[in-house]
Amino acid sequence: MKTFYLLMALIGTIIPWALFGSFFALNGIDVPLFLRSLFVNGAAGGFSADVLISILVFLMWSWRDAAKQGVARWWLVLPASAFVGLSLALPLYLYLRERD
């Protein structure tokens, strides 16, 4: 499973950043526009809210789970979720959680 989680973390980084990259290529590094675009209509807003709430729940759960399971380097999910999203943070955490 570790290999699968690592592969999904890689895919979960590449695909979102390819899409983010095209946005920034067209609009420049305009973070306020990027954040407004997350909620540009009902569909985008609903999807964005769903993912943001899921990230918050995941971070709270993984923090507690990491303490119980003794997961080393749990903190790596914080920048992963901030700079990419749940598509990296979740498989990364599951990768870190797996015992050899």
How far is residue 62's CA from residue 50's CA, in Å, rounded to a whole number? 18
Count how many domains the chain has: 1
Q: At what angle do helices 86-97 and 42-69 cross, to 10 degrees?
A: 20
pLDDT at position 96 is 97
Nearest Cα neighbor of 37 from 51, 26, 23 is 23
Q: For 23-58, how does the pLDDT look when each residue is reduced to its tens digit (9 = 90+)?
A: 999 999 999 999 999 999 999 999 999 999 999 999
pLDDT at position 100 is 54
> How distant is the alpha carbon of residue 55 from its chain centre?
7
The whole-model pTM stands at 0.91
- What does the pLDDT average to over 58-65? 98
The domain containing residue 11 runs over which residues? 2-97
